[in-house]
Structure 1
Amino acid sequence: MVEVVPGYPVPVGADESRFPYGSAAVVNEWAFKAGNGLARELLDEVRDWMGHPEKVTALARTWSPQASMLVSDAKEGVLSAREDLKAYWEGTAFGAFSAYVDHVVKVVEDTHGVMAGMSDLMLKLRETITKTYQAGITFIGRCAQAVLDAAGTVAQQWKNLWGAVCEAVLQALSDFVGAVSQLMNDALTIITEYGRTAVELERKAAELRIPDPIPSSVGETGNWKPRKTG
């Protein structure tokens, strides 16, 4: 029975501009011939590194700089309202209202800090995933080219007589395994650090609270005194 040498399957509907299926087929075929199972597994690892980028993108948008800017704008709106009132009113009610605004601003600033931090983390995570993936497919392309160059040599033609693989092909596959493995380790280190940052942001988020109720004295009209001018 003749054993069929695998290429590399292209899933139905796959975007071939996002993953080098042709180069992967070359690497997979020669990894099969060389008995290098790890090289074949790493092809799948690289392909799956992007995973579900739409989920990361959705998270990044949820914590986007635009979202945190809305919180910042709210703080400016509250401060502006206090300045407008200050121009016309004074008394115990205004004093209570002014102190309450300081409290609200502190809550808003804490919220903005967490949102800005999470937004930055999501953007960095998306950038790391993208860069890692791009490096991975670059390594696939380089390996495929090195394998094709080696496959056309006299050394490999001679090896073909015995169904063997020449040293140059073995080295190309070994270099591919080493490069991708190191890339995975580097990415894991970075993402682990992101995880620590996320835990810290989660802790801060858990400490966030909504503003306290506005003091009842603010609602008593007699406590508002028109500010004297002139």
Structure 2
Amino acid sequence: MHGTPHIVSDVMTGTVVTLGRGATFKDIVKTMQQWKVSALPVLEEGNRVVGIVSEADLLPKEEFRDSDPDRHTQLRRLSDLAKAGALTADELMTAPAVTVHANDTLAQAARTMARAKIKRLPVVDDEGVLHGIVSRADLLKVFLRDDEDIAEEVRRQIVAYLFPAPIEAIRVDVRDGVVTLTGRIRDTMLVPVAARLVRAVEGVVDVNCALMGPHRRPDLDPDLPGGGGTPQVSGAGDTA
């Protein structure tokens, strides 16, 4: 029912600067500076991703350059100390690299980044062959989606599905990614369902679900003033 979410291949960068295992420390720094990137995938034969070198992997060399760490630091930061003495990408890289597939949704990629606390992910196929790279900035591109494009998807994929015969026409307004639904529907139990589905549409920033149920009819509702229930008749001839 719901529209197909945007996937990683929609936003990834297909041209990727990479390293071989033998790339030297200085060449890695030069490459990062030249291409203005903070991490580089490391490839082996067949363009398979075997690891990734980031700025965080390079910093220990400067941090420990003129220091003599105590025993506690040595035990606590063995990996960083090893990288401080590393000379090549093979020694510096974090392996295995955290990756995603081209057909993963943007939500899946965002969760992977958040859990691994990294800024970019190599995009690979089932054999681990590199096809691109996706960054945090790439994932945020979805919020540049046109308001009318979002509104049309909400009307077609959600409103038409949940409310095929509303009491009055349901209006879908989108402003800066915020979706507002107004109108009257027969079953207000569907309001939270509609809000959840709209919020899942790519590019939606927030949802204001102002859908209402049927008008209450006083002649059928005894709880309303002057409505329903047993008629009360009074007249001038009544006695206490």
TM-score (norm 2): 0.23
Q: Which structure has the highest helix share of the two?
A: 1
Higher relative contact order (CA 8 A, sep 6+): 1
TM-score (norm 1): 0.23
Q: Which structure has the highest strand share of the two?
A: 2
